[in-house]
Amino acid sequence: MTRRPVSFDGAMLIPGVTVALGLLTVAWPLAWAPGWAYVVAVAGATAVLGAALAGWRHGPVLAVAAAIASSAFSRAGTAVLAAEGLFILGYLIAADAPPGRSAGLPGARLARWLRQQARLVVAGLVGSGAVLAALALHQASGAWLTVAGLAAAVAAYLIALPRSRA
């Protein structure tokens, strides 16, 4: 049975949260990153602002790519990286929020949308916890393992996204 349609009107709040989360995502690893990462962070911040202000579709992904690049070459610990992973998730969810009414305060409709997203955040927390637990137990490495992991990641991406927009 179809539920009563709910018009979304949280547009006054969501863009601010999105920009804040995006800038936090880009800036978070800088404290442990090398000097050139600041240049990458500036590009990432530009992508965040471009996505929020000009509706640039690929802005969030580019900002996340900049954050991952900064993190990959940083000396950040596991707790910092776990937090960064959650920031990335939060930013991508907020950036995908539907456009809402420009007038009116966010109320029950915003709460309903947030409740829908809460399960994804909980899933992210569980995923981070599982990886943290795995990292605490044992770490193994090897050339074949690296190649297999790389192939698995690309295959998973291609299988998960078999078709592009027509």
Partner 1 sequence: MKTFSGRTIRGAPARPPITPPITAPSQKSPARWYPAARSQSLATAALLALLAAILTGHAALVLLAAPALAALALLPRRRRPAELAVDVALSGSRCFEGEDVTITATVRGLSSAGDARPLDEIVIGLELAPQVSPADRDPAPRTQAFLCTGQATARWVVRADRWGRYSPGTVRVTARAGAFGTSAAAGLDRMQVFPRPGRLRPRLVPAELLRRIGEHTGRAVGEGVEFAGVRPYLPGDQLRDVNRAVSIRRGQLHVNQRAASRATDLVVMVDAFGDSGPVSERSLDVAVHGAAALVTAYLRVSDRAGLVVLGGLLRWLGPAPGDRQFYRIAEMMLAARYDSFVTPDLGRIPRTALPPGTLVVVFSPLLDPRGFGAVSDLRQRGFPLIVVDTLRDEPPAGSRPDTRLALRLWRLDRAATRSALRALGVPVLSWDTGTELDSVLAPLRRPPPGARRAAALAPASAPAARS
Looking at 15-23, 32-40, 42-50, 125-133, which segment touches partner 1 (CB under 8 A)? Answer: 125-133
Rounded Cα distance between 116 and 112, Å, is 6
> Least distance in Å: CB of 112 to partner 1?
7
CA 7 vs CA 13, 139, 140: distances in Å:
15, 49, 50
The answer to whether 88 and 67 are in contact (CB under 8 A) is yes
- Segment 25 to 84, residues that bind partner 1, using CB under 8 A: 57, 60-61, 64-65, 68-69, 71-73, 77-78, 81-82, 84
Q: Torsions phi, psi of 137, nearest 5?
A: -80, -65
- Which residues bind to partner 1, rule: CB under 8 A? 2-8, 11, 57, 60-61, 64-65, 68-69, 71-73, 77-78, 81-82, 84-86, 88-89, 92-93, 95-96, 98-103, 109, 112-113, 116, 119-121, 123-128, 130-132, 135, 139, 141, 146, 149-150, 153-154, 156-157, 160-161, 163-166
